Amino acid sequence: MSSRAAVVIGEMQAGDGPDSEPCSSDDGGGSDGAWEEDDESKAPALASCLFCDRFFSSAEDAFCHCTSDHGFSIGNLAHKHKLDFYGYIKLVNFIRLEKPTVEYFSSISTPFPWEEEKYLKPVLEDDLLLQFDIEDLLDSTDIFCSNGLTETSSPIERLKHAEHKAELAEAALARAQEDLQKMRQFAQDFVMNTEVRSGAIADLKEDEEDVYFSSYGHYGIHEEMIKDKVRTESYRDFIYQNAHIFRDKIVLDVGCGTGILSMFAAKAGAKKVIGVDQSEIIYQAMDIIRLNGLGDTISLIKGRIEEVDLPVDKVDVVISEWMGYFLLFESMLDSVIYARDKYLAKGGSVYPDICSISLVAVSDLKKHADRLAFWDDVYGFNMSCMKKAVIPEAVVEVLDPGTLISEACVIKRIDCHVVSVSELNFSSDFTLRVTKTSVCTAVAGYFDIYFEKNCSKTVLFSTSPCCTKTHWKQTAFFLENPISVEAGEELKGKITVHKNRKDPRSLIITLSLKNVKQTYSLQ
């Protein structure tokens, strides 16, 4: 292993730099024989494939397998992009950590996605691929293309090669069985140990931000959003019907997901579109962009907009589909505001540009009973104490427009060109003018979205119960005790909305109505 590889892998001890003399020992135990005995006691290290679970006795064999079985030549890639030692180390760790497809590498361009310093940190301990000398890759790639065999290899050579692969497989299986037994023993000890040490739960708890972004890494949530015609067709119509906003402009797509908005912008004539997303779905987006022949116009960057470096100083347009339940759930507007403040050129535009949140009174005694009165008699048992846990949870559901008993009241209007993050925590007085004598069982919230600035044709859509349903549905705040109301009455109240300090992507909502105050969580 070269001294440079030792630095990156972290195997060197203090004083073991490339110019250091070998350490000596005064106790006579530092002989070559002693070192050899120690090495024999350890299982030989194996090289793990970059794209599957197979192991090999050397880096050469692993590279050979990558070429023959996966169609990926790391030697060719190193030559093509003129990788130096550190670039090679980062590339290997990038592949191990991010798990891109082989096809992904056919469309990359500078800046390379593995250039961040974090990819100097080894993903695998004692990774043989990181111990391989980059000069061997740059001198020749012949050893990585035939699994060590050529067309003229004799049957005996091929048989020996097959036997060697079988031995490697048996060794890997034996280690896997040993690891499985250790895991079983660990699980047994964990379950039998009745003493829960402080910090054990914290060690098992996933980081909430990682959970949030990983949820958007699955195709299902993107399928649901794309199939929401109100959402997707509104963005499409706004972009295509106002192509002058995008023509020859640089566009930033914050939270690009599968890249659908980026592709709309490219088709509308954008000079350059930059899509940014932290979730794993961006790797599929890269394939989608390439399949549609838009790789020259659209560049995708994996990471949080607050942490990545864009290849441009300023953009002309920021687009994003950032809305969550009750508009502000998930706090993604914070990221759009950050992108606006840092990257939007003077006179540039953010879309959508205007948003509003509205409240409306609801009367649905059956649904109220299903949610609350149900606990009064559960198979003959009184579980009414459960109501204290049920009431504070806001419910995201599709409301029957026939259950609405008041006019809507706007409680918050947001101009995305000027709003600050602090303004997203707010309080608002409201008045709901009752249209039907009834019993108010809940107050529901929904939002409206507008594309207006510089538009020759404005586009808007609503998530109101009276409009075509969307995947955002509506957000209902059930009252513990329904309120009798009469037509023409003004139901006055106050609502306060702020982020949950423990989980900033969720919301805490306090509703005051007829001198009764109730706090709800939306998470």
Q: Looking at the annotation, which residues are catalytic?
A: 321, 330
Q: What is the dihedral of CA 292, 294, 299, 302, to 10 degrees?
A: 0
Residue 51 CB partners (closer than 8 Å, separation 6+): 66, 70, 72, 95, 102
For the chain, first and last CA: distance in Å? 51
Locate all alpha helices (DSSP H) within 253-332, ordered by sequence.
260-267, 281-291
Token pair recorded at residue 313: 């100083």
CB 367 within 8 A of CB 441: yes
Phi/psi at 92 (nearest 5 deg)?
-60, -45
The Cα–Cα gap between 385 and 297 comes to 59
The Cα–Cα gap between 239 and 351 comes to 10
The Cα–Cα gap between 243 and 264 comes to 10
Burial class (CB in 10 A: 0-12, 13-18, 19+), 326: buried
